[in-house]
Amino acid sequence: MGILDKVKEQAARGTAVAKEAAQKGQAMLDELQAKRAADAMLRNLGAATYAQRTGRASSTTDADIERLVSALRSHEEAHGPIDLSQTQAS
């Protein structure tokens, strides 16, 4: 095997490693974006429920809650179960 063949082989390996790293990075980014979307929907659902329980609901609150629950179910179908453990308020 000539030196040029060795250089090409090393370049191909380097490219494969870089592609794999990029795919892993993209997967992590996708997971983070999905988590942020779920967190936003859960926050909105909590706010709507709180408004409902404290007498501050609007005429659309019930429909908003139903829409958010449906969106969260769809999200779970696409991305897996949402972590519903409670966090400590600061």
Residue 2: pLDDT band (50, 70, 90) is confident
Residue at 33 is within a domain: yes
Q: How far apart are the first and last CA of the chain?
A: 64
Residue at 46 is within a domain: yes
Structural domain of 52: 3-79
**Could you tell me if 49 and 56 are in contact, meaning their C-beta atoms sit under 8 angstroms apart?**
no
Residue at 14 is within a domain: yes
Q: What is the pLDDT of residue 1?
A: 66
Residue at 85 is within a domain: no
Q: How many domains does the chain have?
A: 1
Residue owning tokens 């997971």 = 31
Average pLDDT (55-62) is 98
Amino acid letter for position 16: A
Residue at 90 is within a domain: no
Q: Can you give the pTM of this predicted structure?
A: 0.77
Residue at 29 is within a domain: yes
Residue at 87 is within a domain: no
Residue at 59 is within a domain: yes
